[in-house]
Homo-oligomer: A and B are copies of this chain.
Amino acid sequence: MILDGVIMRGLLESVIENNMPYTKDGKVASYIPLLSSANPDHLGICVTTLEGKEYSAGDCEVKFTMQSISKVISLMVAMLDKGTKNVFSRVGMEPTGDGFNSIVNLEVRNYNKPFNPMINAGAIVTCSLIEGENVEEKFQKVLSFTRKITGNDSIDINQGVYLSEKNTGDRNRALAYFMKGNGILQGNVDDVLEVYFKQCSMEVCCRDISRIAAMLANDGVLPWSGERVISREVSRIVKTIMVTCGMYDESGEFAVHIGIPAKSGVGGGIMASVPKRMGIGVFGPSLDEKGNSIAGIKMLQELSKELDLSIF
């Protein structure tokens, strides 16, 4: 299907308009003060095609922190640094019915690795696999990679959010020390968490994440430059894990109703990659009970139906 620009812009405008009412149903994240000050009425969408064209509507320039969307970034960086085989010897690729910050299965089933890289325990492990002399070098690698795949050199962390994450990160410390105690996690716990908290705090807008999604949809090649940044295999692995584990405990339902590889964050963003078609970035900080943007999901559902985007 050839996407005519005029039609596309009109479609995105109407998608924003049609789903605006859903922003009233959810709640913005409140576990750290800075997130709770987000404007629940914000709603934005951006589409990046594989030809590098971009269409947007709504609050597509408003910045938000990546939060769990950054787990996709550190997974890619870790695979680039250590190879896929090595990474998946340390973290699994199976979906789990447990919560994103659950510690239970690590204990009860005596697993020697976290279920997958999209739950906190798994993302902490992938952060530990990024190479670098010190914390700063490791995080700079994540940041540089993020800037490259968004084509946006101004991306940086939100210092306030970062400090808040650090101050309230006790559950993540518990996960990390548990894995350290079991030999699952190597390295200094504080250092690993520093990288983790920082990557969660990187600020982006809809356009940025739609570009990352477009690169993934384009099998690892940046649509705007033709540069390959990850292999086709890495790109496929990432998209697959986004389908089975990307939307917290709502991944199965999202796959059935929308059918697009996607990763959400409690900052309100959803990064959705339609293989061989397009990248989509949506933003709406009002969340459902599972932690996903409530109007964001509705917009993706409408777009998936209108453009027949489901991979199934």
Category for how many chain A residues contact B? 35 or more
From B97, B98, B252, B311, A312 is in contact (CB under 8 Å) with: B311
Give A77 Cβ to nearest chain B Cβ, in Å: 18
Known: A178-B171, A178-B174. A94 touches B312 (CB 8 A): no
In the complex, are the beta carbons of B93 and A96 less than 8 A apart? no
Describe A's contact surface by its main secondary structure.
helix
Neighbour of A240 across the interface among B103, B171, B255, CB < 8 A:
B255
Is there a chain B Cβ closer than 8 Å to A310's Cβ? yes
Residues of B within 8 A of A268 (CB): none
Q: Are B259 and A252 neighbours in the complex by a CB distance under 8 Å?
A: no
With A108-B109, A174-B175, A244-B244 known, 12 other A-B pairs at CB within 8 A are: A92-B252, A93-B253, A97-B97, A103-B103, A103-B104, A104-B108, A173-B181, A174-B176, A174-B181, A239-B312, A241-B256, A261-B312
**A170 in the interface (beta carbon within 8 A):** yes
Known: A170-B178, A236-B256, A252-B245. A95 touches B93 (CB 8 A): no
Kindly identify, within residues 35 to 63 of chain A, every residue whose CB is under 8 Å from any CB belonging to chain B.
none
Interface centre among A95, A168, A249, A250 (most CB of B within 10 A): A95
A176 contacts across to B, CB distance below 8 A:
174
Q: A244 contacts which chain B residues (CB < 8 A)?
A: 95, 243-244, 251-252, 255
By a CB distance below 8 angstroms, the chain B residues around A255 are 240, 243-244
* Interface positions of A (Cβ within 8 A of B): 92-98, 102-105, 107-109, 115-116, 168, 170-171, 173-178, 180-182, 189, 236-237, 239-241, 243-245, 249-253, 255-256, 259, 261, 275, 310-312
Copies of this subunit: 4
- Smallest beta-carbon distance A90→chain B, Å: 15
Q: How far is the CA of A243 from the CA of B175 in the complex (A)?
A: 29
Q: Shortest beta-carbon distance, A186 to chain B, in Å? A: 12
Inter-chain contacts of A108 with B (CB < 8 A):
104, 108-109
A115 to B98, CA, bound (A): 11
CA distance A92 to B275 in the complex (A): 26
Complex alpha-carbon distance, A181 and B103, angstroms: 13
Give the distance to chain B from A245, nearest Cβ to Cβ, in Å. 7
Given contacts A95-B95, A103-B178, A244-B95, contact A252 B116 (CB under 8 A): yes
